[in-house]
């Protein structure tokens, strides 16, 4: 029994020595990887924030385009009504003849064309309005993603105001190795005491 305890203790001490030699580089790599991942997350959050800002600008441009196209549609609709009135005025009958009939017909064609363009601009304005709503939805989604990525970066301790993960990890790993070393020494000591008894 004493020999078994001594063998167990010596094996434990050998493993502790091997662990002490190997754990330093592993801890360094783990710390660098964790901090690098956190830094990458922070950079991704910044990129998402810039994307959301770009969507703000794009959304404002779409709103301006919608307002302009709606205004142009209204102006063309008014011009169409005026052209129709001119067509009616040129269709006068003078002693059984209509001397301005070709001009009246031209105004009628213009009226129809103006109505068509006005309707197209109105449709365009409505489509831009829908797209503007979609842009707003995408922007809000990007902002939500940015907030989540920022939280992940904070959790990875990569933000400048947060502590690095290295010290806590080192204390934990070296503490466990020390504890195993103490147990191995106690096992050797217990085995020696049993052999003397």
In this prediction, residue 26 carries a pLDDT of 78
Each residue's pLDDT tens digit, 93-130: 777 777 777 888 888 888 888 888 888 888 888 888 88
Cα separation, 39 vs 153, whole angstroms = 7
Each residue's pLDDT tens digit, 126-169: 888 888 888 888 888 888 888 888 887 777 654 455 555 556 77
* Structural domain harbouring 8: 2-196
In this prediction, residue 159 carries a pLDDT of 43
In this prediction, residue 75 carries a pLDDT of 87
177 pLDDT exceeds 50? yes
pLDDT (average), residues 77-83: 87
Cα separation, 55 vs 194, whole angstroms = 77
In this prediction, residue 195 carries a pLDDT of 83
In this prediction, residue 162 carries a pLDDT of 52
* Secondary structure of the chain as H, E, C letters: CHHHHHHHHHHHHHHHHHHHHHHHHHHHHHHHHHHHHHHHHHHHHHHHHHHHHHHHHHHHHHHHHHHHHHHHHHHHHHHHHHHHHHHHHHCCCECCECCCHHHHHHHHHHHHHHHHHHHHHHHHHHHHHHHHHHHHHHHHHHHHHHHHHHHHHHHCCCCCCCCCCHHHHHHHHHHHHHHHHHHHHHHHHHHHHHHHC
Q: Give the length of the chain.
A: 197
Tally the domains of the chain: 1
In this prediction, residue 127 carries a pLDDT of 86
Task: CATH number of the domain at 28, please.
Answer: 1.10.287
In this prediction, residue 3 carries a pLDDT of 85
In this prediction, residue 34 carries a pLDDT of 65
Each residue's pLDDT tens digit, 25-63: 777 777 777 667 767 777 888 888 888 888 778 778 888
What own/partner pairs with CB < 8 Å and gap ≥ 24 does 142-146 have? 142/48, 142/51, 142/52, 142/55, 143/48, 143/49, 143/52, 145/48, 146/45, 146/48, 146/49, 146/52
In this prediction, residue 149 carries a pLDDT of 82
In this prediction, residue 165 carries a pLDDT of 54
């Amino acid at each position: 029994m004493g020999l078994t305890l001594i063998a167990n203790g010596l094996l434990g001490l050998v493993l502790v020595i091997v662990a002490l030699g190997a754990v330093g580089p592993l801890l360094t790599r783990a710390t660098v990887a964790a901090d690098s991942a956190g830094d990458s997350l922070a950079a991704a959050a910044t990129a998402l924030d810039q994307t959301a800002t770009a969507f703000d600008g794009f959304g404002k441009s779409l709103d301006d385009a919608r307002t302009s196209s709606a205004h142009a549609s209204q102006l063309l609709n008014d011009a169409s009504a005026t052209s129709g009135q001119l067509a009616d005025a040129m269709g006068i009958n003078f002693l059984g003849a209509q001397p301005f009939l070709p001009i009246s017909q031209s105004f009628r064609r213009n009226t129809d064309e103006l109505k068509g363009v006005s309707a197209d601009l109105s449709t365009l304005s409505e489509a831009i309005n829908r797209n503007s709503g979609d842009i707003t939805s995408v922007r809000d989604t990007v902002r939500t993603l940015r907030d989540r990525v920022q939280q992940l970066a904070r959790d990875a301790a990569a933000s400048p105001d947060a502590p690095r993960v290295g010290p806590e990890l080192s204390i934990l790993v070296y503490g466990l190795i020390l504890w195993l070393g103490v147990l191995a020494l106690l096992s050797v000591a217990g085995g020696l005491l049993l052999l003397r008894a």
